[in-house]
Amino acid sequence: MKRRRKKIKLGRAKKSIIKQPKKKIRINLAHLAVIGKWIFKIAVTCLLAFVGVWYFGQQVSTVGDSMNPVLSNGDVVLVNRIVYNATTPKRGDIIVFKPKGNENAHYYIKRIVGLPGESVEIIENRIYIDGEKLDEDYATTDIDDVGIVTEKIQLAGDEYFVLGDNRKSSEDSRNADVGNVKREYIYGKAWLILSPKKDFGFVK
């Protein structure tokens, strides 16, 4: 009798295992489509944010007062790094660069005066481009020291001549440590003053 009862119990256990229904995994395609759209939107947003910060939001601090009155010592400016991928630097642009391409140097911020292929002379406080006097429509100080520009300078096809607006206190292309600025050394164009708040606005 005892053995018979054991067999019955085992038989019931087997039947209960066989009767258990298999669970089916249902995939809702509509939900997957919605999730896919959100992932795509997030990826695009992240990409645009990265591009915006990398090309338009790079911050550089102004060192010294060579660009007074446009920029003062300590001003933080944003640099447009993409503009010169579409166009070439123009006369009057305020650019950000590292002299001689020296990665260990701080960024310099100066205004372009001479363009590639032009000749530059400084005679009696006046700048001459290809023999013609340059008319500047921004405030500058007198050029008391011509530095290395004691005679006409000929710019190569990839070189720019730059000066600070405050020419009494500016280390620029008149100095041997800076000299002419090659295109490859230009980091970008200064376009927005971020701080101090009282000076917030576009760089003129």
Report the distance separating Cα 41 and Cα 172, nearest Å. 46
Catalytic residue among 9, 61, 66, 182: 66
Catalytic residue among 24, 61, 110, 173: 110
Report the distance separating Cα 97 and Cα 186, nearest Å. 4
- Conformation bin of residue 188: beta by default, left when phi > 0, alpha when psi is -120 to 50: left
At residue 104, φ and ψ (nearest 5 deg) are -85, -10
Q: Which of 191, 131, 135, 122 is nearest to 161 (CA)?
A: 122
- 113: tokens are 């005066």
110 in catalytic set: yes
66 in catalytic set: yes
Residue 118, C-beta contacts closer than 8 angstroms, at least 6 positions apart: 129, 130, 155, 161
**Catalytic positions:** 66, 110
